[in-house]
Amino acid sequence: MTAQEVLQQYFGYQSFRKGQEELITQILSGRDVMGIMPTGAGKSICYQVPALMLEGLTIVISPLISLMQDQVDALRMNGIPAAFLNSTLSEEDYRRVLSQVYRGEVKLLYAAPERLETESFLRIAENIPISMVTVDEAHCVSQWGQDFRPSYLNIAEFLRLLPVRPRISAFTATATPEVCEDIVRLLGLHAPYTVATGFDRENLYFGVQQPRDKFRALMQIIAAHPKQSGIVYCISRRLVEQVCEELCDNGISATRYHAGLSDEERRSNQDAFLYDRIPVMVATNAFGMGIDKSDVSFVVHYNMPKNLESYYQEAGRAGRDGSPADCILLYSGQDVHTNRFLIENSSENEHLDEHTRAAIRQKDEERLKKMTFYATKQTCLRKYMLEYFGDTAKSFCGNCSCCRGNYEQRDMTLEAQKIISCIYRLQQRNLQFGAAAITDILRGSRAEKYEKFRFADTLSTFGIMSEVPERLCRDMIGHLLAEEWISQSDGAFPVLSLNRNSARLLKEKCTVTINIAKESPPAEKKRSSADPCVNPELYEILRSCRSEIAAKERVPAYIIFTDASLRDMCQKLPVNEMGFLAVSGVGRSKLQKYGDVFMAQIRAYIKNKANR
């Protein structure tokens, strides 16, 4: 079969997405490849299709057990012989999988990087022809990546032990150019054919709110997504417990996930979310990369993460099936201080030398600064994020809170010059302050802590912005930082300073504009995270049918069919095999397993509608 035929027969898609066919062609030619594709862009198709076409076994190295389970379940549902080896298997099941591998009954074998060092796995490597090794979440190999895992460094040694070197494919969703170089070097890729499809996911709405009451804002977001799945990320275990309890007290069906829970409770709570028994998951970032649930309609960050890499990866767990979904950050200034404390007191990477740890801390500080700029940005959020990852973007995306918000553009050139002048006058006195203190000085604060400096009597810029509200003054300083008109130091107590752009703003005719929220901004638009459904009544019937089958087969509902597939059925109304195969996500295996049941529901719906 051709790659196109494999795609249609096993996965039920009529055409490849951007970059997929290109990478598959290169893999089949025997070349190493690296795919940099956003979450939900179909990275797995890039190695699963060639794995079915190549002779021998494909080993997929994956960082999390839950991700292996989901992917293997989905592959088996499509009639593809796949298995995994990890610590969740009993000794009997482990031996059974090994026997299947030795008999050639498995095409894709998933394993954690730690498993590569075991004697049983090394015997597989010595005795079974391996056509390809795929490294998923490849950024974990780099100490400059946001999810560095020392165990990923063992992959290169495992590859060296193989009797015949297979082709190697590496995939990641979030990697800066520096991390990409590390992936090639540390995995020993041979002149890899690299495809970067771009980081944009047009179906995702990105929003930032700075509410006075975060919990109330969260309740409004959840209310805008009735009966839909969502994830709420919190910065600490304590906050996870608090938010989850308050949601439950307010009638929201929610569960929790963090590293302080027992393995059994984490597994139970995760299953309740994946199997649609509980729609809202409140979690720390321990609820990580392995979450492959395709119908997550919203991801809320109750606190700002440490960096844009983590934020984009976590937010990217929404809308994996291509449906519109919301990614909203609830920001407060305290988030910056909390993250800085976590960076300064991190116990990660203790095996590294002090010089390297210091370099990583400095890098983390810079990332935190960029993340803060995103959270306080007054221009297109998508453009800022895409350019951070080296991608290009238009100045107006039309699908973020800045582009869609109730804002008016205002010329703040004069205010910018006042801010810069204040910092300059203070520097002349060998004084430097942070954004909060500069705001106080500009607004003429009489606080006791400033009295010893006698600013009111001796500083010409004292109180020159007294008419500007405190929050707006802070927003203006944040805007100047984000646009690099001024600079800010790293460390626990960052201070503002001037740079070359500061002088340009004072001496040249530069204009600085800022988007200001109007006095009575409307509540954030309630956006449905589902495509407009042609037959909403039928959609609910099919959802119910899917839930019943999923419960019987003990698999998550989205593994039977994604929401996008159900909506496609509602639009196409297939009543025969050819029509059902034309539905997105329906291959031969799913036609045989579920076609009769779903087509019966569709026929009954059409008949009932005609008789009304």
pLDDT value at residue 351:
60
Q: What integer is the mean pLDDT of 44-59?
A: 95
Q: Could you tell me if residue 56 is left (phi over 0), alpha (psi between -120 and 50 degrees) or otherwise beta?
A: left
How many helices (H) and strands (E) would you count in the chain? 26, 17
Closest CA relative to residue 32, chosen from 123, 159, 124, 127: 159
Per-residue tokens: 255: 């569960």
Provide the percentage of residues in the chain whose pLDDT is more than 90. 55
Maximum mean pLDDT: which of 133-137, 493-497, 517-521: 133-137
Segment among 334-343, 375-384, 510-519 with least mean pLDDT:
510-519
Residues 6+ apart with CB under 8 A from 482: 373, 376, 377, 378, 384
Query: 4-8, 329-333, 373-377, 413-417 — which is least confidently predicted?
Result: 373-377
Which of 255-264, 280-289, 363-372 shows the lowest mean pLDDT across its residues?
Answer: 280-289
Per-residue pLDDT at 346 exceeds 80: no
Handedness of CA 428, 432, 433, 435 (dihedral sign): positive
Position of tokens 């500080």? 365
The count of other CB atoms within 10 Å of the CB of residue 82 is 21
pLDDT in tens, 422-443: 999 999 999 999 999 999 999 9
**How far from chain centre, in Å, is Cα 217?**
21
Q: What secondary structure does DSSP assign to 152-187, as a single string?
A: GGGHHHHHHHSSSPPEEEEEESS--HHHHHHHHHHH
User: The tokens 């300083």 sit on which residue?
Assistant: 477
Give the pLDDT score at 528: 43
Residue 230: per-residue pLDDT = 95
Q: Is the pLDDT of residue 350 over 70?
A: no
Confidence of residue 291 (pLDDT cuts 50, 70, 90): low
- Mean of pLDDT values over 371-380: 88
Tell me the H-state helices in 459-499.
Answer: 470-482
> Do residues 420 and 498 lie in contact, with contact meaning Cβ atoms separated by under 8 Å?
yes
Inform me whether the pLDDT recorded for 237 exceeds 90.
Answer: yes
- Angle at 20 (CA atoms; ends 15, 22), nearest 5 degrees: 110
Q: Report pLDDT digits (tens) over 305-323.
A: 999 988 998 998 898 888 8
Name which residue leads in pLDDT, 499 or 356: 499
- The pair of three-digit structure tokens given for residue 337, joined into one six-digit string: 């201080």
Tell me how far apart the alpha carbons of residues 145 and 570 are, in angstroms, rounded to a whole number. 42
- Is a pLDDT exceeding 60 seen at residue 525? no
Q: Which residue in 282, 308, 71 sits closest to 173, CA to CA? A: 308
Angle, helices 381-388/308-315, rounded to nearest 10 degrees: 120
Task: Return the pLDDT at 145.
Answer: 63
What is the pLDDT of the chain when averaged over all its residues?
A: 88
pLDDT at position 70: 80
Q: Which two tokens stand for residue 58?
A: 């494909």
- pLDDT, tens digit, 9 for 90 and up, residues 200-231: 888 999 999 989 899 999 999 999 998 899 99
State pTM to two decimals. Answer: 0.71
pLDDT of 562 > 60? The answer is yes
Question: Looking up tokens 């699963």, which residue turns up?
Answer: 48
127-131, 181-185, 351-355, 397-401: the lowest-pLDDT one: 351-355
Side-chain half-sphere exposure of 275, counting CA atoms within 13 A: 15
Quick one: pLDDT band at residue 194, thresholds 50, 70, 90? very high
> Hey, what domains does the chain have and what are their CATH numbers?
3-196 (3.40.50.300), 204-401 (3.40.50.300), 408-517 (1.10.10.10), 536-611 (1.10.150.80)
According to the model, what pLDDT value does residue 320 have? 85
What are the structure tokens assigned to 33, written together?
A: 């490849």
Whether the pLDDT of residue 549 is over 90: the answer is yes
pLDDT at 143: 76
Residue 255 has pLDDT above 50, yes or no: yes
Which of left, alpha, beta for 326 (phi over 0: left; psi -120 to 50: alpha)? beta
Q: What is the pLDDT of residue 533?
A: 67
Residue 385 in this model has a pLDDT that exceeds 80? yes
